[in-house]
Structures are given as structure tokens and as C-alpha cells.
Structure 1
Amino acid sequence: MEKTNRKWWVLITVSLAVLMAMLDITIVNVALPEIQKNFSSDFSNLQWVLNAYTLVYAAMLLPISKLGDIIGRKKVFLLGLAIFVIGSLTSGLASSDLWLNIFRGFQGISGAAMMSLSLTIVTASFPEKQRGLALGIWSSVVGVAISGGPLIGGALVDSFGWRSIFLVNIPFGILAILLGLFFIQESNKNSNEKIDFLGFVLSTALIFTTVLALIQKEMHENYLWTDWHILTLLGLSIILLIAFIITERIVKQPMIELSIFRNWSFNGANIAAFVLGAGLYGGFTYLAILMQNYMGYSAFETGVKMLLISGFTIILGPLAGIISGKIGNRWLISGALFIGAIGILVMRQMIKVPFEWSYLMPGFVLLGISNALVNPPISNAAMSSVDKKQVGMASGILNVFRQVGISFGVVMLGIKLTEGYNNSLDKHIMAIQNIDSGFKHQMLEVFHKSGAFAGSLIFESKQAEVFKQMPAYEHIKNIVFSAFNAGIKDVDLFIAIFLLIGSLASALLIREKSKPGL
């Protein structure tokens, strides 16, 4: 087959793999209620269906990128696909929530292999003139997978049950393996290079403890940041970071060449990836909660509404790669993040109780444009700013920043939402006239225990039955919805700040063509 045609088949192959890897991060959200019902699990166990994948995925990104450089990217990529197929099969057949969590962690290894190596494979397969378009398509797939997860997951769960979200990966995974065997060419292996085992252990432990600390905060909203469960993990992360830096400075063949961070463009791209994950992608979780639990949309209907974001990615994503070649990665990234911040602020200004779709739609349009335009130049800026021998390392680092950003954002935005919700509840419940103070505290206990995410489900619980008999029932319900509105406004402001920081950092740090093209 001609080389011209081969590279496009390579892009199709890795895009299919990336689609599956990223969908497995978001698609599970809508299946959690069915999984909980099937296994009779409590919510803390259920969260590990998400966190087991995320934790292993983030921790393995750097080591697997390095392994691909040493023994060959094609081998490691195809091995990752094989592990993904096996992990999907075992997850779909899991007999308990414990086994499902274990198999999800197994899937995380494969997700890391597919994500970190797909970017380097695409970069190596395309000449510089076409690389922007190729990375634009690759990034569009990432954006579609993240924002389209609820739609695809909702359709599968409603039609075939929760196990289908895993089993559907099997035929597509096998197809990707066959395509990869035929079309992907093996990279040049550096047989003289050895695995930095100490760096491997330290980097894996560093990312693991950092993400686990965030997960602990997410799962236990009553924990302060100074709680020993969190403080111990964060302290250990700092020690591991120092040890990792020292190790990488003294070993002959480090896992990460620290000199890569002297490149301002590379640093700017990573900051942009982090704030994009923390702000926009972390915020998707709470937009889904708003639409499902407060606006009454089903999982599938929520996914359909979020197509307004992902739809722009399909249209503009490939074009963004071309546009970046005209105006430069720097200004496209900065401008796209700024558009996202404006979209969030517009939504924050418009949203009110009772919630209506028309309040979200203008913001969704701007977020869709932002998401479509920002991913391709971030990838392009990172990959074009490093030497050819550093491209695998750069891909791994970029994905770590994006994934840890998502984990960080979900936690921080969840904290802001809960704080705003609780403060508003306390203020307005206690201000209700003609209700005994003791009963007000009883109501607050029910609402605090149910949490900001419960929404309308609060009033369907047995504890809340007594509220329905009260003359002030509708007023109380309005207070709860208004409390969530106060929390979501705090979340929106936080997201806007994240995106504006990323916009400013991109404009200041990113330079065009810091190094010659690969």
C-alpha cells in the first residue's frame, strides 16, 4: 500500500483506540445506578468503578510511553489493545463490584498505552505540513469521546443493560488490533536505552498518591485538606516528587529528561491541557448532574443535549489543525480558552430557578467552539516543540497533565458546589417562618446527608416524606433547587478562572516552532 494511504489508515486505527480509551472514562457515569442496583453496592464502592480506571490510567502514562520508545511503539500499542479487549470482557462478565473494580484497573493499563502512544504514532506517521490536520482529527476524537460518553452510555444502558458498555468494546478492539498489525509501522527502537526502574517506581507512585489524595477528598466531603488521610498522601507526593527530580538528574538514562521543561512552549501546552481538563472536562460531571437530577432529563436526553458541545468538535476539530498553521498554536489556544471562559460566564449569568434548557444553550455553543478549537493546537504545540527523540516522553507528560487536571477539577469543583449548596441551604432554611427550629435542623440534616447531587431524588426518599405534608413544601423544594443554583454558579466562576489562567499562560509562554519540525 502506498505510504500516502497508509498514514490515513494509521490515523483511523489510533483514533478508534483513543475513542474507546476516552469513552471508558466518561461512559461509565450513566451506568452507575444500574451497576449499584445489580450489585447492591454502597456509593463509596461504586465510585471505584470510575476511580480504579482513572488511577491506574494516570499512573501508567509515563512508564508506558517510555516502554514504547525502548521496545517499539507498535508492539506496546497493540499489547495495550489486547489488554483492553480482555479487560472489557472480564468487566462485562464481572460477578461482583470488587471484581469489576479490579478489572477496571486492568483496563486502565491498556487505556494508558493507547492514549500515550497514539499521539506519538500519529506524529511520526505524518509529514509536518499535514500534521496539524492529523492532530486536529485525533484531538476531535478525544473531544467527542469525552463529551459524547453520556449519550453513548445512556443509549447502551437503556437498550442492553450496563454490561453492554464494556462488551461493545470487544469487536471494535479486535478490529483495531487487526488494522494496527497491518498498517502501523514499528518505530525505531533505542536498543541501547534501558528502563529507568527507580524513575519508573517513583513516577508511578508520585502520580498514584497525588490522584489518590484527590479521590479521598472527592469520596469524603467531610474531610478537610488537613485531614491526615489527605495530608499524608499529599506529603508523600511531595517527597516522591523531590526524590524523582533528584533521580532523574543523576541517572544516565532518565525516564524524563528534565531539560524538556526548559522549553516554554512545551510548558505552556501542558498548562493549557491541565486547565482544560480541570475546568471544562471536570465541569462536564456537574453539568450532567444539573440536567439529570435537577432538570429531569434522562441519561440519554442529557447526552443528546451535550451533543451541542461535541458536535462542534466533529466540524471544527479537523479545521483547527489547519487554522493553527495559519495563525499559530499560541493564539488559537489562548483564544479558544478565552471563548470557553466567556461561555461559562454567560451560562453563569443566565442560569436561574426554575432551570430551563434555554439558559444553558448559548453557553454550550461557546463551550463547543472552545473545545473544538483548543485540543488540536495543544497537541501540536507540545509535540512540535520537542526533539524527535523526546516525542514519546512529551506525549506521556501531556496526557498526564490532562488526566490529573480532570481529577483535580472534579474534586475542586465538587468542593465548590457542595460549599455553595450547603451555605445557601443553611441561610434560607433557617429563615423560613412558622417552622420549629428543631424541625429546620432536621430538614438540614436530611438535605446535607443526601448531598448536592441528589436533586429531585431527595424528595422521593423516605426521610423527606414528612416535607410533602407541609404547607411550605413547594417553598422548601425551591430552596433546595436555588441552593444547587448557588453552588453551580460558584462552580462556573471557578471554571472561568481556570480557563482564563490557561488563556493567559498560553499567550505568554507558547512560541511558534521553538525547535525544528520533527
Structure 2
Amino acid sequence: MPATKPTSEPGISSWERGLVLFISALGGFLVTFMTSAVNLALPRIGEEFHTSAVTLSWVSLVYMLVSGACLLPMGRLGDLYGRVRVFNYGMVGFCLFAVASALAPSIEVLLVFRALHGVGLAVGSAISMALVVSAYPPESRGRALGLVVASVYVGLSLGPVVGGLIVHYLGWRMLFVVTGVLGLFNLGIGFGKLRGVEWREPKTGPFDVAGAAVYAVGFVCLLLGFSLLPEVLGVALLVVGAIGLAAFLRVEARAADPLLNVSLFRVNRVFAFANLAAFLQYGATSAMVFLLSLYLQYNRSLDAQEAGLVLVTGNVVQVVCASIAGRLADRVSTRLLASLGLGISVLGLVGFAFLGADTAYWYVVVMLCLVGAGVATFAAPNTHVVVSSVEASYVGIASAILAAMRQAGMNMSQAVATLVLALEVGRTAIQPADHPQLLSSIRLSFLIFVVLSVVGVAASLVGPRRMLRT
């Protein structure tokens, strides 16, 4: 088999391209569905295992930390040993440990299986986009990426709804079983129908184990530090994480075959600033649902179901706009299209900065739709910019870096919102007397997110006037 199988090779049929798109989209759906649905299962898990809220929080947290630690190593493994191969084995782990989680006899065993489950999440996040980029030529790549992004938003949208129904009627264990069984479709296609399709790059040295270890420690400390702010331990972990990532860059500069080619950031301006734009975009928008759920339930006295119906409108718009943006990415400048998406998000975030105690619900819905449309318009073109700005040998690691930026941005967004709430409202349970302070903290958070998003627009615009799509 050749070292790199170009997308124009006659051996890759349109049918095989479609199958690659299907497994990538289903993989993206499964990881986001599981991530968003498992929160609905936490109360039932706590009741069965008689565990504390703090321990329960680790059911989600350990999953995200391990996946973050594995993103770059999995992306590089895909480049070196075959993207389809690593994706398939990642899905084996995802399915296996989903079912194993359903059979866990204790909370301790469940946490171990959830940590191992996170490795499968990392593979899906790091390699699914790289598969699409490898399979599709530049002139139709945007449409395919748009469909994968849309599937991710479908997973985020259906997770709380379908996951809640499964947990309510069938129990929390069945949620893991259903997810694992759905993953078997990917395994059947990957191992059965795509045996002759593969992309890998020649190795120039052994796998960078030292770099992978240093990256994992630094990135986990960074994510955990964000989640623990404003506590002193959170600040300390952020400092350790920053030092760890700086050490990682130093190790990579000396490695024979580095996990991360540092020159991608130092020389490739488009790659560097497009990743920065992604970090800022997710940093500016990921805490939106959290803040608005507090606003709708505390300041507007809606119940959880009513608040959910309001919030889901943004997800619906994201699904629709992601597919449209993908198609547009094949026809217009992806850099400018991504920047337009960020600009649309700014409008919605500015609108949320002016929320009042009696703001009309239609206003909230319109702002949600603006942010949803902006995020969706940004996602696929930004991915296109990142992966098309590097050589074929770095597609996997480029996709993994973008996934890491996305996850770090999400954690930072939640950390900013939590920090502002702690300073404005305090760390005690929210009482009716705290509602004015809660509203002011929500406004302040959105003002901070506006600034982040505006900087993101500037970063997204950096680059040559005409992008060379490879």
C-alpha cells in the first residue's frame, strides 16, 4: 500500500467516499450525543451508587480530561499508522467501554470505564475530520465537512432529549448500551466495506512518546484548572498546565519525528490564527446555554422543560446552517466565510449583554438563532481553512489540534462564566434576593464573550487574500 493515497486515485470510488463521510458523521454524532446525554443520567447513577455530587461530576469530567489528553497522540497515530485503521480501533474502544460502563457494579469501576471511554471520544474528535479531508477533493470538501459538523450539532441537540427519554423509561445503563450498539454500524462499515481504503504517511522516527506524555499532563492540568476556577487549586493547575505546554513545545522542537511540528504555528500564519479563532469562538459561545438556563429558570421563573424548549431553537438553526455553510465553503473564500460566522455570533452576544428582567422571549430566541447561525457558519469553513493550510502528512494532527483548541475554548468559556458568577453572586445557593446580581453577572459574562469574539474575527481574517486549497 502506498504511503499516501491521494483523493484523486481511481481506487477510491464515490461509494467509498460516501461511506467515509457516513462513518465520520456517525462518529461525530455519537461522541456529542454521549457527551450531552450523560448529564441526564447523573441523578439516577447517584441514586443507585449512593454517591456525592462531587464524585458524580467526575463521570463527565474524567471522560473529557482523558479525551483531551489523547487528542494529539491519536491524530498523529492516524497520520503514521493509517487514519481509517486508527479510527476503526478507536470505535472498537468506544463501543466496548460504552457497554462496559453499562455493566459497572460500582461508581469506582464506572469512572475507570468512563476514562477508557474517553480514548474513543478522542479518536472520533481527532480523526473524523481528517478522514473527510483525505477522502474528498478540495472542490467538494466543504459540503462534506458541513455535513459532519451538522451531525455533531444533531448529537448535541438530541442528547438531552433522547437521552432523557432513555434514562426515564429504560434506565441509565441502557443509555450506554444504545450508544455502544449504534457504534457497531461504524465498525461494520469500517472493517467490512473500507478495507481497501487507507491514508498514512511515512515515518521518519519512532512515535514521540515523551512529547505525548508531556502534552497529556499539561493539557489535563489546563482543562482541570479551568474547571476549578476561581479556587486557588484551579489557578495553580492553570500555571502548571501552561508550564507543561511550554515544556511540550520545547520537547517537540528537539524530537526526531515530533508529535507536533512547531513550525506549523511559527511559519504558517493561516494555520496559527485559524486555530486561535476557533479557540476564541468556542470560548465566547460555549457557556451561553449554561448562562441562559440560569436566566430563564431563575430570572424568568420557567421550569426546566420550558427553558429547554427555548434553548433548543439555537441548536436547530445550527444544524440547518452548518450544512449550508459547508456548501458555501466550496464556492467562496473559507476564511471570509468563517469570519462572517464570527461576526454574526458577535451580534447575538451583544444582544444577550442587554438582557433584562422582563425581556421578551422572542428577543431571546432571535439572539439564540443569531449565535447558532454564527457558530454553524464558522465551524465548517474554519475546519476547511485549518486542514487545507497544511501538507497532507499533517492533516491528522491538524484536525487533532483544532479539536484541542475547541475543547480548551469550551472549558475556558465555562470558567469565565463560573468566575463571574462567583464574584457577583457568591458560592452559596441562589436565592430570590440574588436574582439582580445573577442578571448583572450574566450581562457581564456576555460582554466578556463579545470582546473574545471580536478578537476572534480579527484572528480569522489573518492570511493571504486568496487561500490555496490543497
The Cα shift of 1:310 comes to 1.8
Q: Given residue 323 of structure 1, which amino acid in structure 2 is its aligned partner?
A: L
CA distance in 2, matches of 1:347, 1:9: 41
Match of 2:417 among 408, 413, 416: 413
Contact 2:65–2:224 (Cα < 8 Å) also in 1: yes
- Verify: 1:449 aligned to 2:428, yes or no: yes
Q: Report which stretch shifted further, 167-176 or 340-349.
A: 340-349
Distance of aligned partners of 1:514 and 1:333 in 2 relative to their CA distance in 1, 3 Å threshold: closer
Partner of 2:352 in structure 1? 347
2:234 paired residue among 230, 234, 239: 230
- Alignment of 1:40 onto 2:43: no
Which of 117-126 and 331-340 deviates more?
331-340
Task: Describe the SS at the equivalent of 1:449.
Answer: coil
For each residue in 1:88-124, what CA deviation from the matched residue of structure 2 results, as whole angstroms up to 9, or x when unmatched?
1122232333222222111110100111111111101
Structure 1 CA distance, aligned partners of 2:268 and 2:15? 34
Partner AA of 2:79 in structure 1: D
Bigger CA drift: 291-300 or 270-279? 291-300
Deviations 1:166-189 (A, max 9, x none): 221122111111011234422134
1:313-372 superposed Cα distances (whole Å, 9 cap, x missing partner) = 3322122122233331222112211211211221332x3335763341111121121122
TM-score w.r.t. the length of structure 1 is 0.82
State the Cα distance separating 1:163 from its structure 2 match.
2.6
Alignment equivalent of 1:98, drawn from 90, 108, 132: 108
Give the match's secondary structure for 2:258. coil
Spell out, residue by residue over 1:426-468, the C-alpha distance to the aligned partner (whole angstroms, 9 max, x if none): xxxxxxxxxxxxxxxxxxxxxx422x4xxxxx6xxxxxxxxxx
**TM-score, normalisation: structure 2:** 0.90
Q: What SS does structure 2 have at the residue aligned with 1:257?
A: coil
CA RMSD of aligned residues (A): 2.3
Q: What amino acid maps onto 2:238 in structure 1?
A: L
Q: Given the alignment, which residue of 248, 257, 266 partners 2:271?
A: 266
Q: What residue in structure 1 maps to residue 460 of structure 2?
A: 506
**For the structure 1 residues 516 and 306, does the alpha-carbon distance in structure 2 shift closer, same or farther, using more than 3 Å as the test?**
same
CA contact (8 A) 2:34 2:179 kept: no
| Letter of the structure 1 residue corresponding to residue 345 of structure 2 | G
The whole-number CA distance in structure 1 between the counterparts of 2:239 and 2:375 is: 34
Distance 1:141 1:76 in 2: 21
Kindly indicate whether the alpha-carbon contact (under 8 Å) linking 2:78 and 2:127 is maintained by their aligned counterparts in 1. yes
Q: Using a 3 Å threshold, how does the CA distance of structure 1 residues 480 and 235 change in structure 2: closer, same or farther? A: closer
1:183–1:283 distance in 2 versus 1, CA, 3 Å: farther
Does 1:484 find its partner at 2:438? yes
**2:320 equivalent in structure 1:** 315
Confirm whether residue 378 of structure 1 aligns to residue 390 of structure 2. no
Specify every segment of 5 or more residues in structure 2 that has no aligned partner in the other structure, as ranges.
1-10
* Structure number with bigger Rg: 1
1:304 CA displacement = 3.7
1:68 aligns with 2:68: no
Question: For residues 342 and 150 of structure 2, what CA distance do their matches in structure 1 show?
Answer: 16
Equivalent of 1:6 in 16, 28, 31:
16
Distance 1:324 1:189, change over 3 A: closer
Asked if structure 2 preserves the Cα contact closer than 8 Å seen for 1:329 and 1:512, the reply is no
1:253 aligns to what? 257
Q: 1:25: which partner in 2?
A: 35
Specify whether residues 200 and 312 from structure 1 end up closer, same or farther in structure 2 by C-alpha distance, changes over 3 A only.
Answer: same
What secondary structure is seen at the aligned counterpart in 1 of 2:114? helix
- Cα deviation 1:21-80 (Å, max 9, x = unaligned): 122222223333333333332221121111101100111000111111222112211111
Tell me if 1:122 matches 2:123: no
Of the three residues 210, 217, 220, the one matched with 1:198 is: 210
Select between 270-279 and 321-330 the one with higher mean Cα deviation.
321-330
Q: Deviations over 1:112-163 (max 9, x none)?
A: 0111111111101111110011111112222333344323333333333333
Question: 1:277 pairs with 271, 277, 282, which one?
Answer: 282
| Distance change >3 Å, CA 164–CA 513, structure 1 → 2 | farther
Q: What residue ranges of structure 1 are gaps of 5+ in the alignment?
A: 423-447, 453-457, 459-476
Tell me the CA shift for residue 231 of structure 1: 4.3
After superposition, the Cα gap between the structure-2 partners of 1:283 and 1:202, relative to the gap in structure 1 and judged at 3 Å, is: same
Alignment of 1:360-399 (within 5 A): 360-399=364-403
1:70–1:190 CA contact under 8 A, matched in 2: yes
Match of 1:288 among 268, 293, 297: 293
1:358 aligns with 2:362: yes
1:401 matches 2:444: no
Q: Would the alpha carbon gap of residues 317 and 155 (structure 1) be closer, same or farther in structure 2, given more than 3 Å must change? A: same
Note if contact 2:314-2:365 (Cα within 8 Å) is conserved in structure 1. Answer: no
Distance in structure 2 (CA, Å) of the matches to 1:40 and 1:46: 10
> How far apart are 1:513 and its partner, in Å?
5.6
Sort the Cα spacing of 1:417 and 1:356 in 2 relative to 1 into closer, same or farther, 3 A: farther
> Any conservation in 1 of the 2:205–2:256 contact (CA below 8 Å)?
no
How much identity, in percent, do the aligned residues show? 26
